[in-house]
Amino acid sequence: MRHSRHYSLAITLFLLLVSTTTHAKIPAQKKHRSLAYQFLVPQNAARSAVKLRSLVWDTKLEQYAKSYANQRRNDCALEHSKGPYGENIFWGSGTGWKPAQAVKAWVEEVQWYNYSENSCADGQMCGHYTQIVWNTTTKVGCASVTCIDDKGTFMTCNYDPPGNYYGERPY
């Protein structure tokens, strides 16, 4: 599959942002803002690469994400909440996972998305990426939990309005 020039720009911007956001020293009193920042900045870089307006952080969506992430704390299962919002979920083995790493995994799906055919490559996923760059989505809220008994780290982001409508292009 031929990659778009947006892919190269998106990955370059994203890798730059991941390297700066995951290593930044942020005072403990700004931890809450820091978590939002770590989720929001790389998603907005992906949106900027395709000339979309930035998402804004929404505390209602954040609370929804926190509530659902806490439900997954016991099993760390990659199951969607089936709620009213768009949703991306991530699981990583062990601890120490950063929000930017989850977003990186979602954004890297751009390599499997073919805009001209509005489809993913056979056998690949790209719906996490297309949710991030869904044109009508304006708000996001996310959460991260460490699961019990060393089951890993679970992260989720919820989007409003949701995207990924069958037959529609993200942008």
Q: What is the pLDDT of residues 114-133, one digit of tens each?
A: 999 999 999 999 999 999 99
Rounded CA gap, 114 and 119, in Å? Answer: 5
Q: pLDDT > 90: what percent of the chain?
A: 80
Mean pLDDT of 5-13: 42
pLDDT surpassing 50 at residue 37: yes
pLDDT surpassing 90 at residue 35: yes
Mean pLDDT of 2-12: 42
Higher pLDDT, 24 or 114: 114
Rounded CA gap, 169 and 73, in Å? Answer: 34
Mean pLDDT of 52-79: 98
Sign of the dihedral through C-alpha 91, 121, 109, 117: negative
Poorest-pLDDT segment among 28-42, 91-105, 123-137, 153-167: 28-42
3-state secondary structure at position 111: helix
Q: pLDDT > 70: what percent of the chain?
A: 81
Given this model, what pLDDT does residue 27 score?
A: 39
pLDDT surpassing 80 at residue 75: yes
Give 166's contacts (C-beta < 8 A, 6+ positions apart): none
Mean pLDDT of 141-151: 97
